[in-house]
Amino acid sequence: MIPQHVLAVLAAFLVGGSNAHTIFQKLWVNGVDQGYLNGIRYPTYDGPITDVTSNDIICNGGPNPLVTPYSQTVINVPAGATVQAEWHHVLQPNGYNSADSADPVDPGHLGPTIAYLAKVPDATQTDVTGLGWFKIQEDGFDGTTWGVTRMYNAKGLHTIKIPSCIPPGNYFLRAEMIALHGASSYPGAQFYMECAQINITGGGSTQPSTVSFPGAYHGTDPGITINIYYPTVTNYTIPGPPVFTCSGSGTSSTTTTKTSSTTSKAWIYRHRALRARHLTFCLDLR
């Protein structure tokens, strides 16, 4: 007899191995539906990207060719807004399909949901290379439930808060889901992402630190090459930089609280050390 827990692991692999992927295909802004495929660069095939060093990790493409010409819509988003990326198993003009247990994604595709922004001169420009990206949302594993499961339970809605302090203008919003069911060796993790074309209104003048794609992820990252079945995951490390926040600008200042004087030598040394660590981590910090 095969022990029950081994069967459970085998079942998880079989479920995860099925061809049931996902596509981000609609954006909501403060609860308002922005329209199916409107302002989003999307493929017709729902497959993953697995090579984190390829340009396809930016806004998809490659094995999942993007439909061209791209949408000419740039979606207006007030700074501070709550947006939702809506994911579905395949392209679904009618939205959530309750008859498909793999909608919005195969429930065995466990992993984090993440979102990034990159400022661009014109969100309808075709080129997505060479941009500076900053993370604005991440939902990994809380000890019980994965971010993807929360998105699954929300029928495909992935909730993202747009920072209130960043400069107005055009941006790409890169909504991402990583499936780790086959990630025990690299390549194995499956990266799903689409980019929405948005225009942030209002806002402020805070310039977040940025990372590059490709560059921000490595095959050796503990959140990218990981066996999520054994040993039991306790602390999952979400790949990429820290989340940018207006209160503690993302990278260094989140750990610089509780200093009596911000000009103290200790603070300066600590700050330098953190910067150096960040530079080492990102390699391509600009």
DSSP single-letter state for residue 187: S
- Among the listed residues 141, 72, 144, 83, the one whose alpha carbon sits nearest the alpha carbon of residue 115: 83
Contacts of 282 (CB under 8 A, 6+ apart): 211, 212, 215, 216, 241
Separation between Cα atoms, residue 286 and residue 197, nearest integer Å:
23
Of 21 and 135, which CB lies nearer to Cu ion in the complex structure? 21
DSSP assignment string, 26-60 = EEEETTEE--TTTTEE-BSS-PPB--TTSTHHHH-
Min dist CB 122 to Cu ion, Å, is: 33
Of 21 and 88, which CB lies nearer to Cu ion in the complex structure? 21
- In terms of DSSP bridges, do strands 190-201 and 75-78 run parallel, antiparallel, or are they unpaired? parallel
Residue 26 interacting with Cu ion (CB under 5 A): no
Residue 181 interacting with Cu ion (CB under 5 A): no
Three-state SS at 266: helix
DSSP single-letter state for residue 276: H
Span near Cu ion by CB under 5 A; candidates 20-28, 94-102, 110-118, 243-251: 20-28
Please tell me the count of residues contacting Cu ion according to CB under 5 A.
Answer: 1
Q: Are 116 and 138 in contact (CB under 8 A)?
A: no
Of 17 and 35, which CB lies nearer to Cu ion in the complex structure? 17
Of 106 and 166, which CB lies nearer to Cu ion in the complex structure? 106
The phi and psi torsions of 153 (rounded to 5 degrees) equal -65, -25
Residue 135 interacting with Cu ion (CB under 5 A): no
Span near Cu ion by CB under 5 A; candidates 21-29, 216-224, 231-239, 241-249: 21-29
Among 9, 21, 102, 259, binds Cu ion (CB under 5 A): 21
Min dist CB 102 to Cu ion, Å, is: 8
Min dist CB 248 to Cu ion, Å, is: 35
Of 19 and 280, which CB lies nearer to Cu ion in the complex structure? 19
Residue 88 interacting with Cu ion (CB under 5 A): no
Span near Cu ion by CB under 5 A; candidates 16-24, 30-38, 92-100, 227-235: 16-24
Span near Cu ion by CB under 5 A; candidates 14-22, 142-150, 215-223, 230-238: 14-22
Of 26 and 109, which CB lies nearer to Cu ion in the complex structure? 109
Q: Locate all alpha helices (DSSP H) within the chain, ordered by sequence.
A: 4-17, 56-59, 147-153, 265-282
Residues lying near Cu ion in the complex (CB under 5 A) are found at: 21
